[in-house]
Amino acid sequence: MSGLKGKAALVTGAASGIGRSTADLLESFGALVYRADVAEGAGLRLDVTSEGDWQRVVAEIPRLDVLVHSAGIATGAAIEACSVEEWRRTIDVNLTGAFLGLKHMLPLMRQNADGGSVVLIGSASGVKAAAGAAAYCCSKAGLVMLAQCAALEAKDGKIRVNVISPAGVVTPMWKELPEVPDRGKNPLERMAFPDEVAEAVLFLCGDAAGGMTGADLRFDAGYTI
């Protein structure tokens, strides 16, 4: 993959799942990867809902070419049973966290003459509704619009902003999603693995996707058809 060797990348949610696989893959292609997570074990501790944490991370990174925002949580409750606290936490982590990342990282990326690339990890649940998962679905649907707005605002800095929306991925977070009748059913009758999604993220980060911005790449085995 051309264009990544020597580039600096920040990956949130890097302690597990898609984030960890993506960080490993970007490193294997020569990128300097800053791994951030609220969990222990990541190089940078980052609560994506904390503006102070984002400001601290910016101060610790001298340059940024690639931002992969993978941090997120899975929640499930019917609207009538969903507490305001659960709703707000889901929106805060999955959507406001991405907003704060863009707010504080885009200025750093603008310092690069050749721009950069942002990939937000969305979900097929942001496209196809699921009973019992309103907060999660809405948070991921909002992520696509956020990316499109950011793509327009960042174009003058040669910064591309895209989303990848997987369906079921074999990660610990998948087990936390609610059981709904059509959950995980798709034409290919299979789930994805974190390494596969990471390959798609790698594509969006690299030169081969230089003509893509504001796109939602659905890596969902046809779930949203």
Tokens for 207, please give them: 């030169």
Cβ burial of 60 (10 Å; 0-12, 13-18, 19+) is exposed
Which pairs from 32-35 meet CB under 8 Å and 24+ separation? 32/6, 32/7, 32/8, 33/9, 34/8, 34/9, 34/10, 34/60, 34/61, 35/11
In sequence order, which residues have a C-beta less than 8 Å from that of residue 175 and are 6 or more positions away?
A: none
- Clarify whether 136 is annotated catalytic: yes
Terminal-residue alpha carbon distance, the chain: 30
- What angle, rounded to 10 degrees, do the helices at 17-28 and 194-205 form? 50
Residue tagged active-site, from 38, 116, 126, 136: 136
Q: Which residues are catalytic?
A: 136
